[in-house]
Amino acid sequence: MNLSPLSSPTDLGRFAIGFDPRDRSRLHQLWDEVIDSNRWAEGDLTKRFEDAWAAKHPGAAGAVATGSWSGGAVAALKHAGVGPGDVVLCPSNTFMATPLAALHLGAKVEFVDCNREDLCVSFADFEQKLAQHKPKAAFVVHIGGHIAFDIQRIADLCRAQGVFLIEDCAHAHGATWNGQAPGTWGDAGVYSFYATKTVSTGEGGILVSRHPELLEFARAFRNYGKPDHEVEGLNFRMSEFTSAIGLVQTERLDELVAWKNAAAREHLDPVHAGRLQLPDGMVSGLYKYIVFDPIEKSTGKVYDQPCHRILRHQVDLPNSDWVATGHWCVPIYYRPELGNQEEVTA
């Protein structure tokens, strides 16, 4: 395919789903395979997608695809034994999906503040809230496509204290820190493939974990507890058609993230000195390009209302309140037809 040079950085700002036009014919071919297989659910494509996603997560024992992020998150919480009355720690700077997954199981959510530098859970506040509330499980959310800067210390603390740690990886597709992938610090990582994410399947999610028994639990949970109904689950299965998109997207993920990063270095970094700065060795999947100076052409905030405000919790979280007003997102979407960014950068 001939790739023309990027004509203008503003082209990066027109919304496009992270789907490469070159994958269209392969996807159609896979969909034909599914049609001909007469197996539109629980078939080979879901397994192929899961294996491909797991291969991008060294350290994980496997992956379980679900119909949405919720399926993976609730499976992980249930496997951790979270139920009515248990406490789950959760950042306030996140989408309501994160606390709602715990609330759905009757748990009590206690909110944790974030850092201003990365918009993710603050270790200092996490340590304090863990001592105060004695949670059974906790969430960290990798906001915006990079990895939470305090993830290692939080994971170490959770392991030492027996707290089950779930990484909400809904934004974190393709991110790495010294080669390590999101979802492999904690006990589980849960991705979303909703239609605006870095890569999408329209709707969908996937859980990764280093615990084979959690993966087995999640497979039963997404399928009404089949085969033996020891697990009380519901239907969170992913169809074979959706899994085919997931497989194609997974195969394109590295290129997509490299393209976005090259585009950001070339066109956005020179004009956004006040951008979020990553630590050495970290690559962001660039779901969002976050800046701390007001800009005219923004897609707005990652979140403009912290969850503790939405749920009217009386807790003081100054950094979460600050973040809600103190950052902006510069639009950046994968549009390979605009030019091969690696060539443009070279």
Ligand X SMILES: Cc1ncc(COP(=O)(O)O)c(C=O)c1O
Secondary structure class of 113 (helix, strand, coil): coil
- In this complex, which beta carbon is closest to ligand X, that of residue 92 or of residue 341? 92
Does residue 305 interact with ligand X by CB under 6 A?
no
Among 49, 95, 185, 259, binds ligand X (CB under 6 A): 95
Q: Is 250 helix (H, G, I), strand (E, B) or coil?
A: helix
CA angle 92, 95, 97 (to 5 degrees): 105
Name which position in 41, 61, 194, 331 contacts ligand X (CB under 6 A): 194
Please identify, among the stretches 62-70, 113-121, 254-262, 324-332, the one whose residues bind ligand X according to the rule CB under 6 A: 62-70
Minimum CB distance to ligand X, residue 168 (Å): 5
Residue among 205, 233, 306, 336 that touches ligand X (CB under 6 A): 205
Look at residue 191 and give its three-state secondary structure: strand
Q: What is the C-alpha separation between 337 and 66, in angstroms, rounded?
A: 31
Stretch that binds ligand X, among 8-16, 167-175, 230-238, 323-331 (CB under 6 A): 167-175
79 CB-near residues (< 8 Å, 6+ apart): 188, 213, 214, 217, 218, 221
Q: What is the size of the binding site for ligand X (CB under 6 A)?
A: 14
Taking the complex as a whole, the smallest distance from the CB of residue 65 to ligand X amounts, in Å, to 12
Per the CB < 8 A criterion, the answer to whether 62 and 82 are in contact is no
The distance from CA 291 to its chain's CA centroid, rounded to whole angstroms, is 20
Tell me which residues in 239-258 interact with ligand X (CB under 6 A).
Answer: none
Q: How far is the CB of 164 from ligand X (least distance, A)?
A: 17
If you write DSSP's letter for every residue of 146-183 in order, what string do you get? B--TTHHHHHHHHHHHT-EEEEE-TT-TT-EETTBPTT
Q: Is 168 in the site for ligand X (CB under 6 A)?
A: yes
Residues that bind ligand X (CB under 6 A): 68-70, 94-95, 97-98, 141, 168, 170-171, 192, 194, 205
